[in-house]
A and B are shown apart, each in its own frame.
Chain A
Amino acid sequence: MRNLWTDEDTVEFSIPGDRNVEVLGTLRDDPDLAFFMLADAAAVDYGVDAHFEVVYHLFSWKHPGWLRVRARVDRSEPRIRSITDMWEGAMFHEREMYDMMGIVFEGNRDLRRIYMSPDYRSFPLRKDFVLPDDAADSPAAGVNPLERPETWDLSHFREAVAVTFPPSDLRGDAPGEGVEGGDFADSESRPR
């Protein structure tokens, strides 16, 4: 998944995780490169047996297109140096990456959870955190009888339907019968 196609207005390259500070520092301080703005810092999980990646997007007046720097982070020991010394605005990005993926940023003075409660024990955006198939199994739920069709009492269903679709002399017994073309005058718009 590493060497895939990328969009044509972005220049992208990968670096090992421990060199992120020097690479980003050079990109920012070099007068010809002058990537002064950090547009985005994101984390990607490439799978349970693969690695993480911290992806930085940078902008410069002197170059067309965005620059994407991908720093590879080991999954078993997800640590990388923090860039909050260079851009203070990376603080919230890194807190979010820690909260969602569990990547620890060394040198970040405030690495705590930002979205989830401080005592939350899992990292939601990892690939081994699977969203439940049945909503009632999700950790945010309880049991709501209305969402369990097996608890519905259908013994009065036919009467309830008859109130909404009253039998009339033009109609047959079930909805859809009787009038030519069905319930809908325009037969093309009849649901099939």
Chain B
Amino acid sequence: MTRTDPEPRIPDPIELDAAEEARLRAAAGLVPARPESGGEYAGFDQVGIPDRPPQTDREREVYSLDEGEMLINMGPQHPSTHGVMRLVVKVRGEIIVDIDPVLGYLHRGIEKLCENATYTTVLTYVDPMDYLSTMHNEHAPAIAFEKLYGIKAPPRAEYIRALVVELNRVFSHGLMMGFLALDMGGLTPILYSFINRDEIVDMLSAISGQRMLFNFFRVGGVNWDTNDEFLSRLGTWRSRVLKNIEMNEDMITGNEIFRSRTIGMGTLTGDQAISLGVTGPNLRASGVPFDVRKAKPYSIYDELEFDVITHEGGDSYSRYLQRIAEIKQSIHLIDQIIDKMPHGPVQAQVPGIIRPRPGRAYGAVESPRGLYSVYAISDGGPTPYRFRMRDPSFISLQALPKLMPGRLVADTMAVMASLDPVMGGVDK
């Protein structure tokens, strides 16, 4: 005896396309799967990212969902180690369609605080911006303030500045290697990077007194001269560093998983990079030989011999190789600096509270992340009138929404780690 099916059954929705599914659901008297669009909230996902109407064109573009798309929040707290950044990722399945970075979770108002601080205090306020390259953070304002005040730092101070700046570059690039591997799940290279960093940071603490936010630069020079402990640690480190870097490199560079996750991933052409404002190793890995130390030499870089390294390719692997090459270049520079360092005072005679002439000055340095520059306006008083920092990580982050569409979600962090942003600098 046959029985007809008592209830109308809808076939498994995976087999249907949207129109048919909607028709069948309506015929069965079920509520529509997706609420009718229209009004102010047109296109917004009803789950609530974000919970107010879109304000701009781009926001509307990102937050309106087609069929099969979904918004995922890679929230301010996530296992990647760059800091607090939020990425709203629009995915279709596992493939990224669009990314909207939401910044500002670490915005501390440093520019405004600097307008109320004396020039020497400003050099301490800028430390925690890009906290992995503190010496560069202080170098750019020191250049700008020395231009405004009209003095030059003595030659020994300039050499010491270049020395600590290159040391900072070495450990920052070393950390990038570790973070890149960590974001892909490799837990060992980060340990090697931190061993290297701790050695360098102990050395720098012998000269500046602080392990991380070195308050070392002054307007007119540096604070302390080199001492025995610093030089002895420097010698010990120098004898070991190339081997350490190579140990770390061997673990990562030939690794099959690493290569398949970075080669061809996140490719930036040179023109795209320039248009996006990307600078530093990211730009040089795309083939453009722009290095502030060569293009606009500051400090003593015109007396040192080095070439601008570039790589063709512009993908994550090239950016990684670029940074390793720059570590070796920095070690070569450190050797030259130690060779050539003159004797002399390390700080020019400046009063405690300096009052530079009214004017404008621009100081730019090459930080491990790119072009870091300071635009300072002085009105003749003890505090700057306007203190503006241009941070390279902030601008390089704009590359992320252009690089990621078409890739998988898991590659987001890998590509971001290869761009090496530091949230302190991004959010100021």
**Chain B residues with CB under 8 A of A5:** 357-360
| Additional 6 contacts, C-beta under 8 A, given A4-B360, A92-B397, A93-B277 | A4-B359, A38-B277, A59-B296, A66-B296, A87-B277, A131-B116
**Residues B276 and A66 in contact, CB atoms below 8 Å apart:** no
Task: Summarize B's interface: helix, strand, loop or mixed.
Answer: mixed
Cα separation A113 to B276 with both chains bound (whole Å): 19
**Chain B residues with CB under 8 A of A55:** 375
**Residues B390 and A42 in contact, CB atoms below 8 Å apart:** yes
Q: How far is the CB of B322 from chain A (nearest CB, A)?
A: 18
**Chain A residues with CB under 8 A of B55:** 112, 118
Interface string of B356-391 (1 = CB under 8 A from A): 011111101000000101010101000001101010
B243 touches A (CB below 8 Å): no
**Residues B104 and A116 in contact, CB atoms below 8 Å apart:** yes
Cα separation A160 to B357 with both chains bound (whole Å): 50
**Residues B395 and A110 in contact, CB atoms below 8 Å apart:** no
B3 touches A (CB below 8 Å): no
**Residues B390 and A110 in contact, CB atoms below 8 Å apart:** no
Binds A, one of B18-26, B56-64, B91-99, B124-132: B56-64
**Residues B52 and A118 in contact, CB atoms below 8 Å apart:** yes
**Residues A42 and B375 in contact, CB atoms below 8 Å apart:** yes
Chain A: interface size category: 35 or more
**Chain A residues with CB under 8 A of B394:** 92, 96
From known contacts A7-B362, A114-B103, A118-B52, infer whether A39 and B58 are also in contact, taking CB-CB under 8 Å.
no
**Residues A68 and B277 in contact, CB atoms below 8 Å apart:** no
**Residues B373 and A39 in contact, CB atoms below 8 Å apart:** yes
When C-beta atoms are compared, the residue in chain A nearest to B113 turns out to be A131
Chain A CB within 10 A, most for which of B103, B276, B278, B395: B395
Select which of A57, A66, A109 is within 8 A of B57 by beta carbon: A109
**Chain A residues with CB under 8 A of B45:** none
Interface string of A2-28 (1 = CB under 8 A from B): 001111111010000000000000000
Interface string of A86-119 (1 = CB under 8 A from B): 0111111100100010000000011111111110
**Chain A residues with CB under 8 A of B116:** 131
Q: List 6 A-B contacts (CB under 8 A).
A: A4-B359, A6-B361, A37-B274, A37-B290, A42-B390, A109-B56
When C-beta atoms are compared, the residue in chain B nearest to A116 turns out to be B104
**Residues A111 and B56 in contact, CB atoms below 8 Å apart:** yes
**Chain A residues with CB under 8 A of B360:** 4-7, 12, 68
For window 110-132 of chain A, which residues contact chain B by CB distance below 8 Å? 110-118, 124-125, 129, 131
A40 touches B (CB below 8 Å): yes
Cα separation A109 to B50 with both chains bound (whole Å): 18
Select which of A10, A92, A115, A131 is within 8 A of B362 by beta carbon: A10
Chain B CB within 10 A, most for which of A110, A113, A117: A110
B107 touches A (CB below 8 Å): yes
**Residues B362 and A124 in contact, CB atoms below 8 Å apart:** no
Cα separation A66 to B394 with both chains bound (whole Å): 21
From known contacts A40-B390, A124-B112, infer whether A88 and B398 are also in contact, taking CB-CB under 8 Å.
yes
Cα separation A5 to B362 with both chains bound (whole Å): 12
Q: How far is the CB of A15 from chain B (nearest CB, A)?
A: 16
When C-beta atoms are compared, the residue in chain A nearest to B290 turns out to be A37
Select which of B147, B278, B364 is within 8 A of A39 by beta carbon: B364
**Residues B358 and A68 in contact, CB atoms below 8 Å apart:** no
When C-beta atoms are compared, the residue in chain A nearest to B396 turns out to be A89
Cα separation A9 to B297 with both chains bound (whole Å): 11
**Chain B residues with CB under 8 A of A124:** 109, 112
Interface string of B148-182 (1 = CB under 8 A from A): 10000000000000000000000000000000000
**Residues A57 and B274 in contact, CB atoms below 8 Å apart:** no
When C-beta atoms are compared, the residue in chain B nearest to A120 turns out to be B104
B239 touches A (CB below 8 Å): no
Cα separation A188 to B394 with both chains bound (whole Å): 49
**Residues B58 and A110 in contact, CB atoms below 8 Å apart:** yes
B295 touches A (CB below 8 Å): yes
